[in-house]
Amino acid sequence: MNVLSTRFTKSFGVRHPIMLAPMGGSAGGALAAAVSRGGGLGMLGAGDGDREWLDREVSIVASRTDQPWGVGFLTWAIDVGAVERALGYGPRAVMLSFGDPSPFTERIRQAGAALIIQVTDVEEARRAVDLGADVIVAQGTEAGGHGARRGRSTLPFVPVVVDLAAPVPVLAAGGIADGRGLAAALALGAAGALIGTRFQATVEALVDPAIATAIVEGRGQDTERSSVLDIARGSRWPSKYPARTLGHPYLDRWRGREAELAGDFQAGQDYQNDVARGAIPPLPVWAGEAVDLITDLPSAADLVTTLATQAEDALARALTGSSS
């Protein structure tokens, strides 16, 4: 008997209750395929639906695995055409995050793909239930990258969504970087975990080697949730979803002065100039609070197996009361 068998694994025909976060810019075809080969559900981070990127990365994932995989979008940044293009490739699931999913849900359902909606607060969770989500991802504020400005931590948030959404399966997200976190998510009533930062530090991730190194060397206390870097780089991200990143010179320079930064054209030019001359990285280093637990750069397929084994061990220890 597989102790990690859940409604999620049964619904998607995967071995382990682990889903790759569809991280824009790093969850490409190679990473998604590796996660799926390892027994999880690999997800492409299609972001704003760039057609050239999607065509390239879908061909990679389709050629490297015969297991289920899916596509994730930033809901605020896409149109129906982007979703329709993705559905044309036959993904097992489409995930919508950050914004109103309602314009896209019926089209996804008609195509036969599973509808996964990520939520960051209770109001979003209720809407996801009303829209008929097949899976709901409950993202706590420990998560790397963008999330709720006024959200809740994973530990109290996930059980609330589990109770609200039942019987819809819920995946926990935010601050999960090893099998103990996965075990904790299952104990909270979740059907699995959505994992992002941990998978950025793998050999298949589409990230600059310097970013992978920064994650391996990073510490949780060095992460910060802020809108400063989005403003400085001219991002269109909605202000209600600031981003958790590792430390950055512009955070130190503009912390608490976001309104001033938004009105300072020269600051934006300075940011671009600093990127061009290599004084700051091309992109912020998105990283969650569990970054301390990331100490190596394995293959993603091996990592899925490791996470599942660690979770089984953690659950067994919890049942026996053993700490070793």
Give the per-residue pLDDT at 2.
66
Q: What percent of the chain has pLDDT over 70?
A: 98
Cis peptide before 169 (omega within 30 of 0): no
What's the rounded mean pLDDT across residues 189-211? 95
Cα-Cα-Cα-Cα torsion 108, 47, 12, 138, nearest 10 degrees, comes to -100
Taking the C-alpha atoms of residue 138 and residue 164, their distance in angstroms, rounded to an integer, is 11
Distance CA 245, CA 252 (A): 13
pLDDT at 274 over 60: yes
HSE, CB side, 13 Å, CA atoms: give it for residue 217: 8
- Helix residue ranges per DSSP H, the chain: 7-12, 29-37, 51-64, 80-87, 102-110, 122-130, 154-165, 179-187, 197-200, 209-217, 228-232, 249-254, 258-262, 265-276, 300-320
145: phi then psi, degrees, rounded to nearest 5: 75, -155
Does residue 213 come out as left (phi exceeding 0), alpha (psi in the -120 to 50 range) or beta? alpha
Question: CA 266 → CA 60, 126, 256, 258, distances in Å?
Answer: 41, 42, 18, 14
For 162-175, what is the mean pLDDT?
A: 97
- The predicted-structure confidence for 68-94, as pLDDT tens digits, reads as follows 999 999 999 999 999 999 999 999 999
What was the pLDDT predicted at 283? 85
The answer to whether residue 148 scores a pLDDT higher than 80 is yes
Query: How crowded is the C-beta side of 236, counted as CA atoms within 13 Å?
Result: 8
**Burial call 118-144: b when 16+ CB within 10 Å, e when fewer:** bbbbeebbebbbebebbbbbbbbbbbb
Round the CA-based radius of gyration of the chain to a whole number and report it.
19
Q: How many CB atoms lie within 10 A of CB 259?
A: 9
Average pLDDT score, the chain = 94
Phi, psi of 109 (to 5 degrees): -65, -40
Confidence of residue 322 (pLDDT cuts 50, 70, 90): low
The residues near 269 (Cβ < 8 Å, ≥ 6 apart) are none
Name the more confident of 135 and 24. 135
Return the percentage of the chain with pLDDT > 90, whole number: 87
Q: What is the mean pLDDT of residues 290-306?
A: 96
CB of 83 closer than 8 Å to CB of 115: no
What is the model's pLDDT at position 66? 93
Work out the angle at residue 262's Cα, subtended by the Cα atoms of residues 259 and 265, and round it to the nearest 5 degrees.
Answer: 140
Mean pLDDT of 13-27: 95
Residue type, position 230, single letter:
D
What digits encode the pLDDT tens for the residues 88-119? 999 999 999 999 999 999 999 999 999 999 99
In this predicted structure, the answer to whether residue 49 has a pLDDT above a threshold of 90 is: no
C-alpha to C-alpha distance for 273 and 255, rounded to whole angstroms: 20
Angle, CA 228 vertex, CA 224 and CA 231 arms, to 5°: 145
Classified as helix, coil or strand, 42 is strand
> What is the per-residue pLDDT for 280?
87
Contact 18, 307 (CB under 8 A): yes
Q: Answer yes or no: is pLDDT of 323 > 90.
A: no
Task: State the average pLDDT over residues 253-259.
Answer: 92
